[in-house]
Structure 1
């Protein structure tokens, strides 16, 4: 398949460039290396999707490669604060509700609204780790109507309230070891 060869060639080229940047350390080599690593990652993901057998890859990555699921995923990621319904997401994807629900579950491994709930919790956890804003502000930004609604959902998924999660992460610092299950 020609696409595989092109992706593999790009990955090889990026790896060679990273090697040269790290060996010679020219000006801005760190920045160039980081960007080349990102290019390489994207091409490796593309290559992985191209060679994977049907059903072998699931989750958001498989969803982004699916023409029915991708528009709904992009919409949820662009506007997690919106009170999405399956009907609205199906409209974005230009398919029926039942088609989107079935395809989303088949490709991603869970229904669209379950995926959205998980995505919102991930966004909230990221904001809490960075120390950005109050819990109430984070709740609004990620699509929960109240601090209480976020707290209940967050605790159900992580085992800790948002405030406890923030405190534990702050106590851990940058060690990269988490005290809360995710």
Structure 2
């Protein structure tokens, strides 16, 4: 197995990406999650340095100025997400494969940066309506935020073509099987 590989998961919010990333981490010991940096507020039980590195917009902009990111995106005004170079190096230094859970623009950027070292997987919802239902059921956002997320998801679906693989998460167990095969083949190659 060659070292310095990355696996990129991207999807519109509510597609089941995080569930599938956690599944991969449980299945493959060589995978290690790359903790993203963000300026958004923690949701639920999220913790700094575990789920995300939470920063103020000013702190995030300071890191941009210091060239600390592999890639970053201002998703909404003052809502930044990014991948720290130090986080990728930390995982590679342990001899592990980096797994990313990023928005679609971040996913496209990471694929360009890592090229053949990367397997990029786009998780698509069965439909926009189903996506909206999932976001409502998740009960982490108000209706206005959900409407914004659904509108963004419609745009994000257009990015699927830039990924190595597209998995439609209609049946979770089937999606898990497909992803386990893809990831296993990539890690072993």
Structure whose residues are more often strand by fraction:
2
TM (normalized to structure 1)?
0.30
TM (normalized to structure 2)?
0.29
Q: Which has the larger radius of gyration?
A: 1
RCO (CA 8 Å, sep 6+): is it higher in 1 or 2? Answer: 2
